Structure 1
Amino acid sequence: MYSKCKTELNGRSVSSYIKDVLGSEQSHPTNFDSLSAQVRQLFDLIEALGNVTFSNGLRIYYQNVRGLRTKIDAFFLAVSDAEYDIIVLTETWLNDKIFSEQLFGHLYAVYRSDRSPLNSHKTRGGGVLIAVSKKFSSSIGQTIISVSLEQLWVLVEIPQDSLSIGVIYLPPDRKNDSVSINEHIESLSSISFRLSPRTPALLFGDYNQSGLRWCCPEGGLPFVDPLLSQIPTACSALLDGFNLNGFTQINTLLNRNDRLLDLILANDVALPVINVFSPVEPLIDLDADHPALGVEFRIPTPIEYDEPSISFSLDFRRVDSAELNDLLSVIDWRFIERTANVNYAVECCCDVVESVVSHAVPASRPPLKPPWSNPRSRALKRTRSATLRKYCNTRSQYIKQQLNTVTRQYRRYNIFLYRCYIKRIGMNLRRNPKRFWSFVNSKRREAGLPHSMYLTDETARNEKEKCDLFARHFKQTFNESSATLMQIDEAVTDVPRDIFNFNIPLVTEEMVRVALNKLKLSFAAGPAVFPHLC
């Protein structure tokens, strides 16, 4: 019902849509003004609720996550359940040892600027990223920006134009550094200069300007109170740079100290079509100084997605053999003889067989998504979704407590299932190596051995070091323990004698030579460590 209304309204207000419908109806020539007062109040209420217009739009999520290294699994599972089009993060604390696929899977194109010697004299902390859903075409902005700062600019293709999104993290030790501020303003000016007049732009950033006191009037844009704020020279230059480049700060969600450390800036094109809100559920645990922020970016033109191709396979293990035989037995196959063209005869025969098989053989059940889920987790997820919808409709604190409880239960159980799934994947190294390596390659950018491998604080660069590191990490997968003679005697105490009759085969030297000659030279040594050349 919602999607139908969304398609018909296409960005128009509810009242204007109903006015047009009532005015165009020949069978019901009722005028809008003649409706009852209660109905008019209802229409006004609908429009007042967040200025709802049922328009198409992008959902953008922003958060200062204060490090993701120890939260990789929890963040990956939260992103898998979320439906954001763009995710912007600061203080990621990532490095080249952590792949983007570990955090976002294959649903997002991820652009990162990790902390490095180029943008910081520190080795830990910092870092920013922008993840764009692969439903949209995106790319790094062609404009050259300063590499001495932790900042990014990404272009996202939207109907009729592009959306330019930037992010920056200015650490506390550089917040009053005039050189850093000027380099950021120059980058901002360069981006703004290259944008077309109708291209919207958004900039997310943690500037750590705790001395600024922002006033957030109801229904208006926030502004800095100069009497209550401490504004050093560098901070003043930053605010002037925003104004000169046509960017306006729109975030009004204060932290626990009634301060704004995380800013959202929009240019004049983006300003009328964006709405900042507080997400009901953050993707990761919140820091009290950095609340999560959501942005709804309204697009007047509907977004068209490419429908994914769905292929069905048949489950022959559940075939109805009797029905299949009956269907095949009643077909008059003489039509093949009456067909002059052999290619056409083959095509017709295949069509008939395919039609018969599709009736007698059921389709395979689709794989579980995600593969670690089970009926209990799916039931918890449905309960959580229902409670979330109820809270969005009522905004009741009692419902919010229920939502928090259900969310904790679901996330804890989901993490438990995911870790069990990862453990099973690790065990596949011994039982099903192909599946194990398929999973490993799905979490990396390329196939084959990486240039370097890491385990805690150790780094392996040559093949021997990589093998040793790999064997040490997966040692628990292989059971190398052996039973003692006493344990064997205890195990066979209750076993009747002569219950097994072993016939030891005779193995001659000639038989061994023949078997060795059959070995393929291209094969490497096996578990017995026999070389391939004997």
Structure 2
Amino acid sequence: MELSVYYQNTRGLRSKTQDFYTSSLSCCADIICLTETWLNEGIQDGELFDLNTYEVYRQDRNLATTGKKDGGGVLIAVNRKLSSRSEAAWTSPGICEDMWVSVSLNPSVRLHVCCVYVPPYATEQNLMAHLNTLSNIVESRPDDRFLIVGDYNVPKILWTLNNSRNCFIATVVHDRLGECLVDGYSLLNFSQYNGVRNCNGRSLDLVFSSLTDVKVTTCDLPFVEEDLHHKSLNIVVNINDECRLKNGTSYSKFKFHHANYDIINREINDINWHNLFLDIDVDAAVNRFYSIIHQIIRRFVPQKKINNKFPLWYSANTKSLIKEKYKFHRRWKRFQNNLDYVNFSNARKAVRLAIKKDYRDYVANTENNIKSNCKSFWYFVANKRQNNKLPNTMSFNGNVFSDDENISNAFSSYFGNHGKEEEGANKS
């Protein structure tokens, strides 16, 4: 099975959200990795992606760990036809920013994707903290596959193609930071696959993998304008296993506002929780609790099938161009004919232009018809406000918490006090 990955160092998205959004709509990549997003809590996932198509995982720059307010930030978006989950516990300490997402390709095959940004002021100790965390993750999962992409900002390495292994090896390393990076990945037996060079003849953005069949090429149609020092990349990962994909055109969503909460409350109250959790450890108790709750949700919360083939505002012409683009792409993949690729490339550009025009018309119509059709306006706003990201900080009793342990303790205090208040009210 082939997986397509798009990578770009975007050099900030806050002023490019509309261009990025329309570009992402025409993207066929299974996974999208971005560095230097410069995003914050004021930018919602729905402003960047169609959330019916992509599951978005973000790690915006954290002031508490990096000491910087702006810049940085990494993002991974995974097509919903793939089963994915965030691995927040794998984040390395210090100023190197990384985001981990696990993709389950079948019950026994998992690909772990990491998007990394190492700032230019990082020291050898900072890089070692990232590499040590990576080493622990890889060594504890010897049967899994790994793909690490990102901006390492290590310019003093000359990467040379090794034809026998079809990857790039470091033939010249001019500083200790580069030696640290090369040694770290060599010990893991990972290969580096990006030989694309920037305007200075250097490769700052690197692609490491435990897999042996990875191809990296420049992207001739980047999402947003490229930075001269960072070329956008198309990465094709070939995994020689049978993989199961979910239906890529639709998925089901729970309609919690239509749930029968009277029955749900009765079901929960009728359960003898004490006996269920008797003589089992805390991990087994948590798993049993979630299993029961999920079963109740599936029984008493109705579901709605969401069709995510095209946004509502796509014109008939745009839909026709998209189908034509897929036709040329299939022909090119099958016959590897240069003419088919030229036709596919031209169709892809036409699709992107058509989507941008449709989106501009949609926004203009929404603005012009606010008085006569305010429902359309609020639908637009609600759609953009969608966000899969947990906030970086949480507040409780006038205190603000930014690290996982203190946030968890604050939740524990809140629910502990809430339970005591209910118990006191029942006694009175």
- Residue 246 (1) aligns with residue 192 (2): no
1:188 corresponding residue in structure 2:
134
On the 8 A contact 1:275/1:295 being kept in 2, the answer is yes
| Counterpart Cα distance in 1 of 2:62 and 2:163 | 41
Q: 1:388 to 1:89 in 2, by over 3 A?
A: same
- Residue 225 (1) aligns with residue 159 (2): no
| Counterpart Cα distance in 1 of 2:384 and 2:33 | 21
On the 8 A contact 1:169/1:206 being kept in 2, the answer is yes
Compute the RMSD of aligned alpha carbons.
Answer: 3.2
- Residue 89 (1) aligns with residue 34 (2): yes
SS of alignment partner, residue 222 of structure 1:
strand
| Counterpart Cα distance in 1 of 2:223 and 2:199 | 19
1:333-348 matched pairs, under 5 angstroms: none
On the 8 A contact 1:373/1:414 being kept in 2, the answer is yes
Q: 1:193 to 1:407 in 2, by over 3 A?
A: closer
SS of alignment partner, residue 173 of structure 1:
coil
- Residue 292 (1) aligns with residue 232 (2): yes
How far is the alpha carbon of 1:266 from its aligned partner? Answer: 1.0
Kindly tell me the number of residue pairs found equivalent between the two proteins. Answer: 327
| Counterpart Cα distance in 1 of 2:247 and 2:321 | 31
SS of alignment partner, residue 85 of structure 2:
strand
Out of 336, 359, 362, the position equivalent to 1:418 is: 359
| Counterpart Cα distance in 2 of 1:368 and 1:156 | 22
1:152 corresponding residue in structure 2:
99
Q: 1:426 to 1:190 in 2, by over 3 A?
A: farther
Q: 1:184 to 1:80 in 2, by over 3 A?
A: same
Q: Deviations over 1:196-232 (max 9, x none)?
A: x210011112111111111114453211123xx42x2
| Counterpart Cα distance in 1 of 2:82 and 2:308 | 26
1:115 corresponding residue in structure 2:
61
- Residue 200 (1) aligns with residue 140 (2): no
Task: Give me the TM-score of the superposition, normalised by structure 2.
Answer: 0.67
Segment of structure 1 superposing worse, 92-101 or 209-218: 209-218
On the 8 A contact 1:188/1:245 being kept in 2, the answer is no
| Counterpart Cα distance in 1 of 2:237 and 2:72 | 27
1:443 corresponding residue in structure 2:
384
Out of 125, 128, 152, the position equivalent to 1:179 is: 125
On the 8 A contact 1:105/1:443 being kept in 2, the answer is no
Specify the code of the residue in structure 2 equivalent to 1:214.
W
SS of alignment partner, residue 213 of structure 1:
strand
How far is the alpha carbon of 1:126 from its aligned partner? Answer: 1.6
Larger radius of gyration: 1
| Counterpart Cα distance in 1 of 2:17 and 2:322 | 20
- Residue 374 (1) aligns with residue 330 (2): no
On the 8 A contact 2:5/2:33 being kept in 1, the answer is yes
2:394 corresponding residue in structure 1:
none
Q: 1:410 to 1:59 in 2, by over 3 A?
A: closer
Out of 10, 28, 44, the position equivalent to 1:65 is: 10
SS of alignment partner, residue 58 of structure 2:
strand
Q: 1:390 to 1:65 in 2, by over 3 A?
A: farther
1:305-320 matched pairs, under 5 angstroms: 305-306=246-247
Q: 1:263 to 1:375 in 2, by over 3 A?
A: same
Which structure features the higher share of strand residues? 2
Specify the code of the residue in structure 1 equivalent to 2:96.
L
1:136 corresponding residue in structure 2:
82
How far is the alpha carbon of 1:304 from its aligned partner? Answer: 3.7
On the 8 A contact 1:61/1:295 being kept in 2, the answer is yes
| Counterpart Cα distance in 2 of 1:413 and 1:60 | 23
On the 8 A contact 1:118/1:148 being kept in 2, the answer is no
1:317-466 matched pairs, under 5 angstroms: 369-378=310-319, 380-381=321-322, 393-395=336-338, 400=342, 410-445=351-386
2:395 corresponding residue in structure 1:
none
| Counterpart Cα distance in 1 of 2:169 and 2:223 | 29
How far is the alpha carbon of 1:250 from its aligned partner? Answer: 1.8
Q: Deviations over 1:320-346 (max 9, x none)?
A: xxxxxxxxxxxxxxxxxxxxxxxxxxx
| Counterpart Cα distance in 1 of 2:381 and 2:193 | 42
| Counterpart Cα distance in 1 of 2:56 and 2:94 | 18
State the percentage of identical aligned residues: 31
| RCO higher in structure (CA 8 A, sep ≥6) | 2
Unaligned stretches of 5+ residues in structure 1: 1-55, 312-365, 451-534
Task: Give me the TM-score of the superposition, normalised by structure 1.
Answer: 0.55
On the 8 A contact 2:324/2:347 being kept in 1, the answer is yes
| Counterpart Cα distance in 2 of 1:82 and 1:308 | 15
On the 8 A contact 2:249/2:308 being kept in 1, the answer is no
1:12 corresponding residue in structure 2:
none
Out of 206, 209, 216, the position equivalent to 1:276 is: 216
SS of alignment partner, residue 251 of structure 1:
coil
How far is the alpha carbon of 1:90 from its aligned partner? Answer: 0.8
Out of 164, 173, 178, the position equivalent to 2:112 is: 164
| Counterpart Cα distance in 1 of 2:235 and 2:326 | 21
